């Protein structure tokens, strides 16, 4: 894959899956805009890793739940680079607890970042992609958006919403040469799964036909493919990367 001269924005790319996506796109020649919300130190570490390997990138701190912040930053990116070819909506948070114990602010926080954030970024980017008559968007959903998971009513709802939103805007933007797809990871080795007790990890792995958690690179490989010309006739799809956990 050759992403030379392509400009890509990856939200929530200071760690985990987002970091892997940013690094992979940069390794294929894209100039990557690394987005973070609060951890500038981690974002700079990703930037240093990319530039050390000869890649091109920049960091921009903004909260995807704020449309004004998103719109202003994306306007600045296009003014500086003249275009924006790829958007990867990866930013997400969790506030897990059982429904009966969930506070309204925990529901709202997850909704605002995970689902409204996808709307904000997609809306701001789409007007430029429409003018360009081309571009690609990949939204990161989750296996729990399709199968659900105890203690994650808010998170599951946002990830299910992302699937519906993806299918809708894929139809709306297709006539402008813009593809929109989503990737649904299963259990991936990140800081989220690192904190799980060993017995819980063992239980989950027993439910996965491949018998292991995935790596962030398992996701980034699929994202890069969907953004590439090799996937130019694919839009509105949900690509499951879950080791066979849900098919």
Helices within the chain (DSSP H only): 16-27, 40-52, 67-81, 104-110, 116-132, 144-147, 153-173, 191-194, 198-207, 216-227
Phi, psi torsion values for 208, nearest 5 degrees: -95, 120
Q: Residue 230: enclosing H or E segment and its boundaries?
A: none
Tokens of 14: 């200071």
Q: Which residues contact 94 (CB under 8 A, 6 or more apart)?
A: 110, 152, 155, 192
- The catalytic position among 155, 204, 233, 246 is 155
Percentages helix, strand, coil for the chain (3-state, rounded to 5) are 50, 15, 30
Torsion sign across C-alpha atoms 195, 200, 201, 204: negative
C-alpha to C-alpha distance for 158 and 110, rounded to whole angstroms: 7
Q: Which residues contact 209 (CB under 8 A, 6 or more apart)?
A: 243, 244, 245
Is 155 catalytic? The answer is: yes
Active-site positions? 155
């Amino acid at each position: 894959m050759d992403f030379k001269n392509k400009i890509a924005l990856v939200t929530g790319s200071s760690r985990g899956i987002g970091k892997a996506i940013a690094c992979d796109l940069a390794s294929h020649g894209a100039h990557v805009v690394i987005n973070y919300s609060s951890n500038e130190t981690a974002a700079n570490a990703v930037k240093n890793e990319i530039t050390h390997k000869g890649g091109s990138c920049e960091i921009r701190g903004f909260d995807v739940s704020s449309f004004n912040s998103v719109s202003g930053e994306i306007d600045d990116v296009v003014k500086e680079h003249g275009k924006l070819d790829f958007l990867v909506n990866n930013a997400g948070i969790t506030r897990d607890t059982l429904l009966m114990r969930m506070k309204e602010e925990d529901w709202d926080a997850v909704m605002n970042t995970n689902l409204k954030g996808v709307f904000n970024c997609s809306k701001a980017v789409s007007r430029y992609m429409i003018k360009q008559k081309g571009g690609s968007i990949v939204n990161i959903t989750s296996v729990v958006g399709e199968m659900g998971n105890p203690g994650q009513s808010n998170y599951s709802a946002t990830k299910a919403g992302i699937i519906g939103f993806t299918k809708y805007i894929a139809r709306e933007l297709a006539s402008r040469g813009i593809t929109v797809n989503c990737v649904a990871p299963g259990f991936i080795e990140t800081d989220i799964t690192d904190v799980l007790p060993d017995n819980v990890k063992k239980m989950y792995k027993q439910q996965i036909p491949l018998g292991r958690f995935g790596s962030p690179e398992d996701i980034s490989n699929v994202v890069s493919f969907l953004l590439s010309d090799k996937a130019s006739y694919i839009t509105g799809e949900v690509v499951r990367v879950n080791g066979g956990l849900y098919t």
